[in-house]
Amino acid sequence: MLEQTTTMGADTWNRIEKDISGWAFKNNITKIEISFRATGTAAVWYSSRFQIDDIGYTGG
């Protein structure tokens, strides 16, 4: 398993990238999981929804 934590900006498009060119299992990927959580705030997160516009990869 390969994991990454990324800071996101509010109310803007965010791009997340992960270089897997040196990862031994890069040719055996069967799924991608994306999760979301807020840190450093006590604000209520109504509906707990987020949108993903596009997922892709580039060969390395």
Per the model's pLDDT, the better-predicted residue between 35 and 32 turns out to be: 32
Per the model's pLDDT, the better-predicted residue between 27 and 44 turns out to be: 27
Q: What are the φ/ψ torsions at residue 26 (nearest 5 degrees)?
A: -60, -25
pLDDT over 70 (residue 10): yes
One-letter amino acid at 40 equals: G
Residue 29: Cβ within 10 Å count = 11
Q: How far is CA 30 from CA 1, 17, 26, 49, in A?
A: 11, 18, 10, 24
Alpha carbon distance 55, 4 (integer Å) = 15
